[in-house]
Amino acid sequence: MSVLPEVIAANAEYAASFGDRSELALPPARGFAVLTCMDARLDPAKYAGLSEGDAHVIRNAGGRASDDAIRSLVISYKLLGTKEWFVIHHSDCGMEFFTDEVIRGLLANSLETAALGDQGFYDVGTGPGAREGDYIDWLTISDQATSVTEDVRRIRNHPLVPARIPIYGYIYDVKSGLLLEVPTATEVGRAA
């Protein structure tokens, strides 16, 4: 069973009470952007108190400062005027449970979904797989505070990012819903 009918029905309900959201401006009203993980347990609108039109939310696996995340951040300030940025990783992130070697090996074996056990991900599917995963940097994580600090540093040092934008580094705790500051990241991300 596909989720498609449920999603279309939920959207019809949402649009039925759309109201003055049709008048929202394109630039984010509260002038900030959040880079965070795609993890389904994280809802940035809820954990950071956002309404439609408030802020940019850029999501990928891990909330990592990939070239494409930086592309979005640059558009966010250069064309749409954001002035403060957050990098928010989280506890129990799936990106901690594998390495480049592991996902490359899994994909080379099989394109079917792997299983996660005590020893990490393992294949339960059948082949053929493909070796194209060898060419992707999967940006896995071994320590959250380190990954947040590395990503804030990469954004801070990027030649297209102005020194006046403060970049805050936080870890979202999936057990409490709290945002925990990563002081080393905030230090690195301080505006000049």
- Residue 37 or 182 having the CB closest to Zn ion: 37
Report the nearest approach of Zn ion to the CB of residue 43 (Å).
13
Report the nearest approach of Zn ion to the CB of residue 114 (Å).
16
- Residue 76 or 140 having the CB closest to Zn ion: 140
DSSP string, 138-170: ----S-HHHHHHHHHHHHHT-TTS-TTS-EEEE
Give the closest residue to 95 by CA, choosing from 47, 134, 146: 146
Query: Is 118 known as a binding-site position?
Result: no
- Residue 13, CB-side half-sphere exposure with 13 Å CA sphere: 6
- Residue 141 or 161 having the CB closest to Zn ion: 141
Query: Is 151 known as a binding-site position?
Result: no
Residues making contact with Zn ion (CB under 5 A)? 37, 39, 93
Question: Residue 186 CB: number of other CB atoms within 10 A?
Answer: 18
Residue 172 burial (C-beta neighbours within 10 Å; 0-12, 13-18, 19+): buried
Report the nearest approach of Zn ion to the CB of residue 93 (Å).
3
- Residue 154 or 161 having the CB closest to Zn ion: 154
Q: Where is the binding site, in residues?
A: 37, 39, 90, 93
Q: Where is the binding site for Zn(2+), in residues?
A: 37, 39, 90, 93
